[in-house]
């Protein structure tokens, strides 16, 4: 049995070296997130101003509970408990976004590129790749564990005892191991690296959505989501260790399954059998856009379903967002009925202003992925034969760019329509159509501006595609959590996420709107020019 | 003199600091089959990509059909059929779909020739591309390229993944193209392949064209290999000028050696009085020619003698 793990050490060393830069960047980012989160919490909570009460009020709102996780009930809220409540979900997701691609890259990715075939022909065992990936997962998590504990202890949050810090970090690590190992298993099942990544992200997204709904509606049901297990440790208050045990148990089961699959399947195949394809191409398959449609429709459909589900969920909870005012007797006393209704609406709208950022991001990721496929397909050599045909670089690049823009448009619009209509179905005072228009008018140009930035990068410096994701991610996070982290009001203005002017609460301002439209057109044209003048493979 | 389909004049290409092409100059006249020889990494694929307008040259002139391939790729591509050295295909499309697509992207369609080629190459078009071996992926590109009606066919090491039977099929197809008066550029490091199909060859090494000409012109540069058996001992012969690489039997009546073309008469004259029992001469293969140019070791060895 052990024989099949031969030379794990060799593979592990090679992988660690290969992934060094990627891991270093991620570990630094994650460490900074924990440190800045704890530090901000400390500054706000341990100050004497009214910031404390503002923050606590905000965190008790259902919409916030939906985004970050529900605050534990019946506990003293101090720096430590609020920190654990706000940061747990956020960090579980960030950690998972780090290890998921890493696990796929080390197993299915290497298999796809043929690297593993070469390695396996040496005296390297059948399950060595999985075992090496597993070792790497444990190593990076031990590093993260030490860094997190060290940071939190050294910042000395009020109310933080070592037991709570230990449990909080242990829960993060356990969840991360669970998602990492789950990805390993998926990488064994799926037959492409791209597919494995997509499934892993989808499951992570679904876990987040499930706990969004349950945290708003009834926190008992949060047990349904694996991310919820980490929340249920209630570090610094109940200090419940059972969920950690549960996560470790699931991790072991998943690891055993991945190992067993790796041992018994053929190299280079998935578990699902290959269906035979068509002998002749369908009649429509006679252009680059048709080819792109043929090769991406599955993924696009996935994004659309995601947009419908997420839109439906966010729309469905809008009702409870508003109800908080009505159930609060103090507010009712202070305001007349119409005023309550108005405040209620303002509240719903400001939550929509937060949710719209998520849908912009949703649309951008879906569209930019298509745009970046121009680089990917080129790197994979698919375009070699295409470039020699009479299709021009202009046709080829524009096909990828415009289809990317179209995908982002459809995903964004479908998501927003779902939020609006399911929201109106649940609200007692439906929102006027004007607010839908505001969301679309502000959001679409932002989506386009970001996707066109991707076209600019692909056209001129395709190597820098990672920069795009970092810029987009930071832009989204700063705009969403900036106020919570006490950042200056305009600090989100460096990306289109900050240019929306909290639509639909306010309408987007014309200068920003024009800026976004101009950026879209100019970047798109530059992207085509860039692709025409650079070397292609 | 026929018109030149391809003209390359002192073409240079740098990738960062590495000089991939230092000086590439050669012409391909219409109706000729040109073998483009060189070891791995010599610059064959880079040259071809410049001809297709995929890479921008850093110096020199290049024309294909009289057009600059970088600026007028739209004008030349419909007249070219191309098979890349490494064929990679969209994993979730079937081979048949890709062949049809490639033909249609060039304004043509699946035809009788396509079906005939699929049979000749024993190709299963229904399988998804991800399950194809290198040879099968090459077949996809070959079938699409050969069933396209073009004026210039460019093959970049087309047979590196094919089995000998398919290789033979490919050679026959190229000979058909030759008969039909098409122009072919065939890059390869398999010498016997080039020898069977090509009118002329160009040899590239480290980004420079080091030799070109038709086969007959180049053959005089290499030596004949002679195997001889005589009645009397022939050891003295190895001192003769123009004789290299001497091996003889223990009885000193059998020998195996290489001889320069211009020294052949003198060597034969020296052999005759020894009583020749058996004599075989092997014409130089491109292999010899290739080694002659390519092994630095061979060059220095030659110089030492």
Interface test with B, best of A385, A392, A397, A534 (most B CBs within 10 A): A385
Share of chain B above pLDDT 90, in %: 48
- The dihedral through the CA atoms of A476, A480, A481, A487 has a sign that is positive
State the average pLDDT over residues A340-363. Answer: 84
Please give the pLDDT value at position A329.
55
Chain B residues whose CB is inside 8 A of the A287 CB are 104-105
Partners of B13 in the β-ladder: B21
- Work out the pLDDT band at B301, boundaries 50, 70, 90: very low
Give the span between the Cα atoms of A95 and A170, in whole angstroms: 13
State the average pLDDT over residues A86-115. Answer: 89
Please give the pLDDT value at position A274.
58
Q: How far is B176 from chain A (nearest CA, A)?
A: 22
Selection from A252-261, B127-136, B274-283 with the highest mean pLDDT: A252-261
Run of H or E including B83? strand B80-83
Q: Beta-carbon neighbour count of residue A142 at 10 Å? A: 11
- The dihedral through the CA atoms of A473, A476, A480, A484 has a sign that is positive
Residue B225 pLDDT greater than 60, yes or no: yes
Which chain A residues in 369-398 lie under 8 Å from chain B, judged by CB atoms? 377, 380-382, 384-393
Q: Where are the alpha helices (DSSP H) in A19-159?
A: 20-45, 51-60, 62-68, 79-104, 110-113, 115-121, 128-155
Please give the pLDDT value at position A337.
57
For strands B224-230 and B208-214, give the pairing: unpaired
Place of tokens 């998804």: B128
Please give the pLDDT value at position A279.
85
The sheet with strand B18-29 has its strands ordered as: B59-64, B4-15, B18-29, B208-214, B200-205, B33-37, B183-188, B152-156, B80-83
Chain A residues whose CB is inside 8 A of the B73 CB are 392-393
- Work out the pLDDT band at B16, boundaries 50, 70, 90: confident
Run of H or E including B8? strand B4-15
State the average pLDDT over residues B242-246. Answer: 83
List, for residues A360-405, the tens digit of each pLDDT value: 999 999 999 999 999 999 988 899 889 888 888 999 999 999 999 9
The sheet with strand B224-230 has its strands ordered as: B243-248, B254-259, B224-230, B276-282
Segments making up each domain of chain A, as ranges: 1-269
Compute chain B's Rg from CA coordinates: 23
User: B4-219, what's its fold?
Assistant: Rossmann fold (3.40.50)
Q: Angle formed by the axes of helices A393-426 and A510-533, to 10°?
A: 150
Q: Greater confidence, A243 or A478?
A: A243
- The CA distances from residue A368 to A104, A360, A411, B193, in Å, are 21, 12, 12, 46
Chain A residues whose CB is inside 8 A of the B80 CB are 388
Give the span between the Cα atoms of B218 and B202, in whole angstroms: 10
- Is A380 in contact with B77 (Cβ distance < 8 A)? no
Chain A interface includes B106 (CB < 8 A) = yes
Run of H or E including B167? helix B164-179
- Is B128 in contact with A537 (Cβ distance < 8 A)? no
CATH 3.40.50.300 residue ranges for chain B: 4-219
DSSP A482: T
State the average pLDDT over residues B215-228. Answer: 76
Residue A116 pLDDT greater than 70, yes or no: yes
Q: How far is A118 from chain B (nearest CA, A)?
A: 15
Which chain B residues in 164-193 lie under 8 Å from chain A, judged by CB atoms? none
State the average pLDDT over residues B52-74. Answer: 92
Run of H or E including B7? strand B4-15
List, for residues A429-441, the tens digit of each pLDDT value: 888 899 999 999 9
CATH 3.30.70.100 residue ranges for chain B: 224-283
Please give the pLDDT value at position A456.
96
- Is B84 in contact with A274 (Cβ distance < 8 A)? no
**Mean of pLDDT over chain B:** 86
Nearest Cβ partner of A389 from B94, B96, B105?
B105
Give the span between the Cα atoms of B46 and A496, in whole angstroms: 41
Please give the pLDDT value at position A194.
78
State the average pLDDT over residues B77-102. Answer: 91
Architecture of domain B224-283: 2-Layer Sandwich (3.30)
- Is B54 in contact with A382 (Cβ distance < 8 A)? no
Give the span between the Cα atoms of B33 and B187, in whole angstroms: 11
- The CA distances from residue A367 to A26, A202, A409, A415, A452, in Å, are 24, 16, 8, 14, 10
List, for residues A147-201, the tens digit of each pLDDT value: 999 999 998 888 888 999 999 999 999 999 999 999 999 999 887 787 888 889 8
Please give the pLDDT value at position B252.
87
DSSP A108: I
Chain B interface includes A277 (CB < 8 A) = yes
Please give the pLDDT value at position A363.
95
Residue among A466, A458, A475, A465 at smallest CA distance from A523: A458
Q: How far is A407 from chain B (nearest CA, A)?
A: 20
Which residue of chain A is at minimal alpha-carbon distance from B107?
A390
Q: Angle formed by the axes of helices A79-104 and A162-189, to 10°?
A: 20
- Is A281 in contact with B100 (Cβ distance < 8 A)? yes
Q: Beta-carbon neighbour count of residue A367 at 10 Å? A: 30
Share of chain A above pLDDT 90, in %: 42
Give the span between the Cα atoms of A188 and A264, in whole angstroms: 10
Please give the pLDDT value at position A193.
83
List, for residues A38-97, the tens digit of each pLDDT value: 888 888 777 766 667 767 776 776 666 777 787 777 777 788 888 888 889 989 999 999
Q: Beta-carbon neighbour count of residue A477 at 10 Å? A: 18
Which residue of chain A is at minimal alpha-carbon distance from B45?
A537
Please give the pLDDT value at position B289.
67
- Is A385 in contact with B56 (Cβ distance < 8 A)? no
Query: Phi/psi class of residue A227: alpha, beta or left (left: φ > 0; alpha: ψ in -120 to 50)?
Result: alpha
List, for residues A306-320, the tens digit of each pLDDT value: 898 888 878 877 777
Q: Greater confidence, A280 or A252?
A: A252
- Is A274 in contact with B101 (Cβ distance < 8 A)? no
CB A357 within 8 A of CB A500: yes
Give the span between the Cα atoms of A124 and A116, in whole angstroms: 10
Please give the pLDDT value at position B285.
66
Chain A interface includes B125 (CB < 8 A) = yes
- Is B89 in contact with A287 (Cβ distance < 8 A)? no
Instruction: Give the 3-state secondary structure of residue B276.
Output: strand
For strands B208-214 and B59-64, give the pairing: unpaired
Q: Greater confidence, B211 or A242?
A: A242
- Work out the pLDDT band at A2, boundaries 50, 70, 90: very low
- Is A392 in contact with B86 (Cβ distance < 8 A)? no
A337 contact partners, CB below 8 Å, separation of at least 6? none
Residue A328 pLDDT greater than 70, yes or no: no
Residue A519 pLDDT greater than 50, yes or no: yes
Q: Greater confidence, B32 or A270?
A: B32
State the average pLDDT over residues B193-207. Answer: 86
**Mean of pLDDT over chain A:** 86
Please give the pLDDT value at position B305.
38
DSSP B114: H
- Is A274 in contact with B127 (Cβ distance < 8 A)? yes
Please give the pLDDT value at position B303.
41
Nearest Cβ partner of A278 from B73, B97, B154?
B97
Chain B residues whose CB is inside 8 A of the A537 CB are 54
The question of ipTM being above 0.85 is answered as no
Q: Beta-carbon neighbour count of residue A231 at 10 Å? A: 27
Chain B interface includes A113 (CB < 8 A) = no
Share of chain B above pLDDT 70, in %: 90
B172 contact partners, CB below 8 Å, separation of at least 6? none
Structure tokens at A514: 């024009």
Which chain A residues in 282-301 lie under 8 Å from chain B, judged by CB atoms? 282, 285-288, 291, 294-295
């Amino acid at each position: 049995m052990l024989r099949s793990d031969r030379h794990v050490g060799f593979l592990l060393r090679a992988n660690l070296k290969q992934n060094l830069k990627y891991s270093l960047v991620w570990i630094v980012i994650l460490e900074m997130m924990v440190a800045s989160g704890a530090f901000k919490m400390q500054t706000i909570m341990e100050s004497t101003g009214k910031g404390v009460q503002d923050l606590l009020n905000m965190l008790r709102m259902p919409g916030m509970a939906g985004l970050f996780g529900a605050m534990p009930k019946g506990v003293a809220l101090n720096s430590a408990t609020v920190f654990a409540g706000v940061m747990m979900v956020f960090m579980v997701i960030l950690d998972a976004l780090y290890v998921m691609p890493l696990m796929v890259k080390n197993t299915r990715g290497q298999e796809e590129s043929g690297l593993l075939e070469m390695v396996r022909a040496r005296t390297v065992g059948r399950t060595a790749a999985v075992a090496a990936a597993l070792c790497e997962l444990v190593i990076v998590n031990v590093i993260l564990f030490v860094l997190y504990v060290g940071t939190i202890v050294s910042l000395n949050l009020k109310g933080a005892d070592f037991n709570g810090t230990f449990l909080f970090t242990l829960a993060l690590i356990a969840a991360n191991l669970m998602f990492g190992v789950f990805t390993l298993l998926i990488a064994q099942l799926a037959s492409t690296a791209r597919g494995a990544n997509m499934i892993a992200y989808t499951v992570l997204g679904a876990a987040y959505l499930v706990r969004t709904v349950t945290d708003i509606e009834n926190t008992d049901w949060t047990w349904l989501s694996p991310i919820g297990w980490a929340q249920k440790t209630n570090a610094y208050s109940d200090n419940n260790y059972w969920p950690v045990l549960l996560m470790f148990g699931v991790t072991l089961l998943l690891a055993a399954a991945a190992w067993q699959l790796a041992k018994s399947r053929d190299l280079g195949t998935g578990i699902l059998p290959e269906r035979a394809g068509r002998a002749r191409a369908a009649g429509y398959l006679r252009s680059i856009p048709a080819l792109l449609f043929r090769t991406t429709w599955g993924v696009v459909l996935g994004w659309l379903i995601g947009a419908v589900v997420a839109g439906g969920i966010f729309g469905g909870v809008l009702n409870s967002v508003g109800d908080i005012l009505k159930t609060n007797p103090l507010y009712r006393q202070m305001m007349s009925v119409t005023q309550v209704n108005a405040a209620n609406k303002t509240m719903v709208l400001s939550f929509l202003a937060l949710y719209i950022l998520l849908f912009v991001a949703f649309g951008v990721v879906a569209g930019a992925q298509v745009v970046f496929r121009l680089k990917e397909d080129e790197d994979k050599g698919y375009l070699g034969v295409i470039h020699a045909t009479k299709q021009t670089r202009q046709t080829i690049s524009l096909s990828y760019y415009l289809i990317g823009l179209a995908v982002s448009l459809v995903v964004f619009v479908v998501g927003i329509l779902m939020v609006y209509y399911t929201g109106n179905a649940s609200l007692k005072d439906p929102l006027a159509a004007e607010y839908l228009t505001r969301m679309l008018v502000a959001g679409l140009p932002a989506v386009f501006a970001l996707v066109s930035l991707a076209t600019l990068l692909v056209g001129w410096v395709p190597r820098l595609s990672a920069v795009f994701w970092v810029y987009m991610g930071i832009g989204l996070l700063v705009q969403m959590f900036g106020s919570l982290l006490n950042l200056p009001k305009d600090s989100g203005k460096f990306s289109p996420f900050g240019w929306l002017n909290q639509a639909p609460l306010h309408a987007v301002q014309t200068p920003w709107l024009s800026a976004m439209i101009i950026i879209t057109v100019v970047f798109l044209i530059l992207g085509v020019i860039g692709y025409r003048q650079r070397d292609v493979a | 003199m026929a018109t030149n389909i391809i003209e390359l004049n002192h073409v240079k290409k740098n990738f960062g600091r590495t000089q991939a092409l230092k000086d590439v100059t050669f012409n391909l006249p219409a109706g000729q089959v040109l073998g483009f020889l060189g070891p791995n990494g010599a610059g064959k694929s880079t040259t071809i990509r410049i001809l297709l307008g995929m890479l921008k040259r850093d110096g020199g002139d290049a024309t294909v059909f009289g057009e600059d391939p970088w600026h007028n790729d739209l004008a030349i591509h419909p007249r070219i059929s191309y098979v890349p050295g490494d064929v990679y295909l969209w994993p979730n499309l079937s081979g048949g779909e890709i062949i049809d697509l490639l033909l249609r992207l060039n304004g043509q369609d699946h035809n009788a020739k396509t079906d005939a080629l699929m049979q000749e190459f024993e190709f299963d078009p229904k399988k998804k591309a991800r399950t194809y071996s290198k040879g099968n992926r090459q077949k996809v590109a070959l079938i699409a390229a050969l069933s396209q009606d073009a004026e210039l066919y460019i093959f970049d090491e087309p047979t590196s993944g094919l089995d000998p039977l398919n290789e033979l099929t490919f050679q026959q197809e190229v000979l058909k193209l030759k008969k039909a008066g098409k122009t072919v550029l065939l890059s390869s490091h398999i010498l016997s392949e080039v020898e069977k199909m090509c009118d002329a060859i160009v040899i590239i090494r480290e980004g420079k064209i080091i030799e070109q000409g038709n086969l007959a012109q180049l053959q005089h540069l290499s030596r004949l290999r002679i195997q001889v058996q005589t009645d009397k001992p022939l050891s003295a012969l190895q001192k003769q000028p123009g004789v290299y690489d001497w091996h003889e039997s223990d009885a000193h009546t059998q020998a195996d050696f290489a001889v320069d073309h211009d020294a052949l008469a003198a060597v034969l004259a020296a052999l005759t009085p020894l009583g020749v029992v058996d004599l075989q001469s092997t014409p130089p293969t491109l292999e010899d020619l290739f080694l002659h140019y390519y092994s630095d070791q061979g060059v220095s060895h030659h110089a030492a003698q």
